[in-house]
């Protein structure tokens, strides 16, 4: 059975769930295709909400001159990240550390080395839009000049769904009745980014009606 034909488990945002693993296997190659285009040749890359480590450990072997830094709010996932790193022999993946986007005391210190890129995958449909402020405040503090933030996921555009399937997916998420779950709007992320000196530079279409949004310094 191909990855595309795998039956979808019930929606469950827990980082080690069958659903998150299923989604990661489906989207990792289209994301990698874009990252091959936009990532720097060398430098350091920070992942937010790394979860099980599926994505960062899939990408790392394709960029041997980049150093990858995984992070997550939940330390329970750190052993999974390290296990995947060991399985794949990824010497360019650092030990994960806890990072809470709502708590600046968990962010890298102001004097810490800066990052060339930051990326986050599939967080906003199960997180409040206020998380965007944390992402872009962190980027303002930790990105090198010319660096960027790449955000992958399904989004509304100017208040509208881009496809009927995204509308149906959103209704399925909203049916869980968890406060602040649901698809967010690109314009709201753009507004949060502008508050911290970043602009939406590119909106890249990806399969399954998802986007990669690339934000850069003005």
Say what percent of the chain tops pLDDT 90.
Answer: 78
Tell me how far apart the alpha carbons of residues 177 and 112 are, in angstroms, rounded to a whole number: 40
Domain definitions of the chain by residue range: 18-217
Task: Tell me the pLDDT tens digit for each residue of 140-163.
Answer: 999 999 999 999 999 999 999 999
> Fold for domain 18-217?
Rossmann fold (3.40.50)
Tell me how far apart the alpha carbons of residues 25 and 176 are, in angstroms, rounded to a whole number: 24
Task: Tell me the pLDDT tens digit for each residue of 171-217.
Answer: 988 888 888 989 999 999 999 999 999 999 999 999 888 999 999 98
Tell me how far apart the alpha carbons of residues 80 and 203 are, in angstroms, rounded to a whole number: 31
Tokens 């979808």 belong to 8
Tokens 């794949």 belong to 88
Task: Tell me the pLDDT tens digit for each residue of 31-57.
Answer: 999 999 999 999 999 999 999 999 999
Tell me how far apart the alpha carbons of residues 155 and 192 are, in angstroms, rounded to a whole number: 15
3-class secondary structure, 98: strand
Phi, psi angles (nearest 5°) of residue 106: -95, -5
Q: Is the pTM higher than 0.75?
A: yes
């Amino acid at each position: 059975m191909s990855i595309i034909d795998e039956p979808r488990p019930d929606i469950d945002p827990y980082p080690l769930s069958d659903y998150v693993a299923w989604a990661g296997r489906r989207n990792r190659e289209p994301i990698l295709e874009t990252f091959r285009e936009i990532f720097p040749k060398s430098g350091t890359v920070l992942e937010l909400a790394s979860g099980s480590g599926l994505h960062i450990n899939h990408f790392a072997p394709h960029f041997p001159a980049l150093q990858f830094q995984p992070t997550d709010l939940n330390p329970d996932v750190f052993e999974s990240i390290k296990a995947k790193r060991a399985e794949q022999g990824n010497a360019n993946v650092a030990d994960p550390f806890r990072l809470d986007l709502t708590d600046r005391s968990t962010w890298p210190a102001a004097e810490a080395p800066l990052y060339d890129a930051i990326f986050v995958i599939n967080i906003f449909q199960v997180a409040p839009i206020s998380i965007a402020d944390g992402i872009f405040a962190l980027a303002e503090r930790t990105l090198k000049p010319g660096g960027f933030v790449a955000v992958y996921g399904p989004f509304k555009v100017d208040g509208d769904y881009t496809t009927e399937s995204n509308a149906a997916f959103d209704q399925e998420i909203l049916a869980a009745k968890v406060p602040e779950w649901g698809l967010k709007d690109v314009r709201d992320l753009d507004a949060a980014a502008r508050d911290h000196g970043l602009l939406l530079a590119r909106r890249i279409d990806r399969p399954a009606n998802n986007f990669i949004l690339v934000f850069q310094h003005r």
